[in-house]
Structure 1
């Protein structure tokens, strides 16, 4: 029985790790087959150590893969590895991203964040789309998905809405990269609309992780959610339970954010 093959970039920590964990617990992939999860990690050894100790159930499996989305060679190597081991990819979850507000110069910050959040996401998607996403397994037609992990802070309409919960937060460079990711999502959806690939923008919300230099203990006290919550919500997207919300920014609580 062919597994459902999923790759999670930035899968070694935070939200990405919780997405991996949620999928490894699941027995409800879109066609009922077990998952094999590729846990993307820039540091392969750390990823391997982590994967070796993750709990699995229902025949699901996991392996680490070296992946740095800012490196064309790393992305090419990851594609070759997945192709050699699995022959295809069924779902690509683009979780790797950054927000570094410690960079004083705005232009430098913008360049660094764009290189990861937009260019890196485009690079890995194009690489896997061309070689794997459109390849159907011999035994049955599987659902294919691309999920871009984004943020409601990239919503242009929400930026102009004083009632938006993050209206007072600055983060101009980060907002701009996530707004660009929204357009990238729309372009991927258009490009793949006749190929049967479902493209989603998923907002995990404000999460208690170390992302952007945050302190999970402090942010949780201020209202940030446990990272397991978006992990489970993203699993619902992978398994087709949020398909009626494509073409918008999907949130963990059912809210719909405009572009």
Structure 2
């Protein structure tokens, strides 16, 4: 099992958006994927409630149960576990980071967001887990993102993912209906960005990206992994 934690002590930076788009990408490539919603606002859980396709599965859990639920997910054979954490919750963020193989820190390239990232960067220094900032809601002006990346890497000492997610209506519109950008606009710019982020994430986790193949029976086959992985309803692990 590979575990990805989405962490940022500031709210409104796109943690849930990135978490759900990545989780859906893994699921669509044949990986049995589970999202643990650790945020009391339960935005990821609400997205799942509105979703017609119930995969990837989302479980809302209490932070105190994280370690136990992660172990249960491993025991039932979960392929990819995505941890969507709450802002302003240092102990939960730290525990999520310790459970993870990879930490992603979604952030927007505004000066207020970048200043607020210092707490998160300092927290991640307490754990030995690969961590990267992911620039989100990036405006068309490239210089804004370039300057933000320089500040994050130089001042905060946090490496930055080379894939940037633009400020696109598709990301917000799709979440309302329980979908992701690659489902509502498969050929759109947002879907292409998510595809690149997915490929990069697979590289960081040391796992094959696979190819999206939909059989006549509605089964996804992960070609690169060399396995037929039938999508199925994920067992509840939070109860």
| Alignment TM-score, normalising by the size of structure 2 | 0.49
Q: Which has the higher contact order (CA 8 A, sep 6+)?
A: 2
| Alignment TM-score, normalising by the size of structure 1 | 0.46
